[in-house]
Amino acid sequence: MERKLTGNVVLKHIRCAEGDIAPYVITPGDPGRVKRIVQLMDSADLLAENREYIVYTGIYKGVPLTVCSSGIGGPAASIAFEELIKLGAKVFIRVGSAGGRQKTIPIGTPVVITATYRGEGTSKAYLPPEFPAVADLDVTNALVDSLRAAAVPYRAGIGFCRDAYYIQDQQLNTLLTASGVLAAEQEAATLFIVGSYRGVKTGAVVSTDSNIWLEEQPTIEEKEQLYRQGEKLVIQAALDAVVRLHDNGAHVF
């Protein structure tokens, strides 16, 4: 879908305008995951598809909801978050994938990221590195409550956000694992810091798709199967969390 830019009415990257975006936004990195999320909604209309950004707005259990992909990494994600906020987004839930960082975390495990080590660069353009990247407590509790209500085994704790996907700092990995870090991914720090800077609520739930510390590594096919099972769980947890937040008036500031 191609929407023409008209002054500042349609924003440059997500190609949406005022009235398009709901207060609640689920933001996966993967555009393909957008489609898997909207299949579970009561209704959803495709609003825009540009670069890595695919945007739907619709209804889930009576709650207006937008789903927008953010691409990989902080720079692309920050563009989506900023433009969504300009158009009225108040509550964000990242639904993504991550690498496990504890031997006790099997592939496919849902992880609620409560805060994250800022090992990437984008968040530092907003706030100094000493400022903590922390998820909103209401959003985090809603995600945890949703997983518990569904009797889904999960982990909750600190993540590791980084930029270079194919480069591993083994010394840092060892230190962070010893300090209890649960999972590594590439967008949560940007989301949490943009949330703090712009005054919106944020949270993140991911399914692990790998784990560098597992003594026996599954095959590629096994990893994919396990991850997809976990992805279904975190998508449902995010959708249910939106309803919980709406019922509690979490979008009211």
Spell out the domain ranges in the chain: 24-247
- Tell me: the pLDDT tens digits for 158-211? 999 999 999 999 999 999 999 999 999 999 999 999 999 999 999 999 999 999
Q: Decide: 80 and 13 in contact? Cβ < 8 Å.
A: yes
Cα 223 to Cα 163: distance, rounded to the nearest angstrom: 22
The overall average pLDDT reported for the chain is 95
Q: Decide: 48 and 54 in contact? Cβ < 8 Å.
A: yes
- Residues comprising the chain, all counted: 253
Q: How confident is the model at residue 253 (pLDDT cuts 50, 70, 90)?
A: very low
pTM score, two decimals?
0.95
- Tell me: the pLDDT tens digits for 76-117? 999 999 999 999 999 999 999 999 999 999 999 999 999 999
pLDDT of residue 250: 61
Residue 6 has pLDDT above 90, yes or no: no
Strand, helix or coil for residue 235: helix
Give the domain 24-247 fold.
Rossmann fold (3.40.50)
Cα 220 to Cα 160: distance, rounded to the nearest angstrom: 23
- Tell me: the pLDDT tens digits for 33-84? 999 999 999 999 999 999 999 999 999 999 999 999 999 999 999 999 999 9
pLDDT of residue 9: 83
